[in-house]
Chain A
Amino acid sequence: EIVMTQSPATLSVSPGERATLSCRASQSVSSNLAWYQQKPGQAPRLLIYGASTRATGIPARFSGSGSGTEFTLTISSLQSEDFAVYYCQQYNNWPPGFGQGTKVEIK
C-alpha cells in the first residue's frame, strides 16, 4: 500500500499571500495524483487531477505540479474562501489513498 505524506500539517498564511503545500508518495505514483479542498461540515471538492489539471470551475490561482513521488499544490494569492484543509490522493495503485491533510489557516 502506498503511503501519502503531506507537509506541513498546518500552514499559516495571510490573505493575498502565496501558499505552497507538499505531498510525498512512498513509491512512484506517476502523475496519478489528485488534490481536494475540504471546508468544515462539507464534502471534499476536487481541485486538481493528473497532478496538474484543474477540475471544472477551479480558479486559476490553484496549480499543481510534480510527478513520481513529489507533488506540490500552490495557491498563488490566498482568498478568504481558500482557508480550508487540503488532501492529496494517489490513484496509481489499489487501494487509492489520501494524505493526512494540510490545514491552511489565516495568519
Chain B
Amino acid sequence: QVQLVQSGAEVKKPGASVKVSCKASGYTFTSYGISWVRQAPGQGLEWMGWISAYNGNTNYAQKLQGRVTMTTDTSTSTAYMELRSLRSDDTAVYYCARDGERIVGATTFFDYWGQGTLVTVSS
C-alpha cells in the first residue's frame, strides 16, 4: 500500500533552516510528483511547491521563492523540503502529498498524504 512517512517534529530559532523528509513506499517513486502543503495552527491548507520525482523539476509558490528548496533522492524514494530564514509565521504542520495523476506540465489533486511534521519557530 502507498505510504508517505515524514520525519519528526522540529523546533528552530528564527533565522535558522529546517529540512523535512518524506519517505515513500508502495509505488514506483519516480512515477509521481510530490507536493508540500503546510497548515499553520488553526488555519487552512497552503500549497508550498511541487517536485517531479522523475526529473527533479520544481514549481514553488511565489511567496516562498528564494527560501524553499525541494529535492528528491530516488535511491531511497525520499523527498525533502528545506525552508530557510525561518520566521515565527512559518510555524506549521508540513505535509508531503503525492500527485493523484501523472500529467506532464499540469498540476493535480493529491491522493496520499504524509502524517505531517510540526515545525515550531520560536526564540
User: Using a CB–CB distance below 8 Å, which chain A residues touch chain B?
Assistant: 34, 36, 43-46, 49, 55, 87, 89, 91-101
The prevalent SS among residues of A at the interface is loop
The residue in chain A whose Cβ has the minimal distance to the Cβ of B59 is A94
**Residues 28 to 52 of chain B near chain A (Cβ within 8 Å):** 35, 37, 44-47
Inside 8 A of B108's CB, which chain A residues have their CB? 91, 96
Inside 8 A of B107's CB, which chain A residues have their CB? 91-96
Tell which of A46, A94, A95 touches B109, judged by Cβ atoms closer than 8 Å.
A46
- How close is B71's CB to chain A, nearest CB, in angstroms? 19
The residue in chain B whose Cβ has the minimal distance to the Cβ of A43 is B113
**Residues 92 to 119 of chain B near chain A (Cβ within 8 Å):** 95, 97, 100, 106-111, 113-116
Inside 8 A of A44's CB, which chain B residues have their CB? 37, 45, 95, 97, 110, 113
- How close is B12's CB to chain A, nearest CB, in angstroms? 22
Q: Are A98 and B35 in contact (CB under 8 A)?
A: no
**Residues 4 to 57 of chain B near chain A (Cβ within 8 Å):** 35, 37, 44-47
Given A49-B100, A100-B44, also A91-B116 (CB < 8 A) = no
- How close is B87's CB to chain A, nearest CB, in angstroms? 21
Q: How far is the CA of A96 from the CA of B62 in the complex (A)?
A: 12
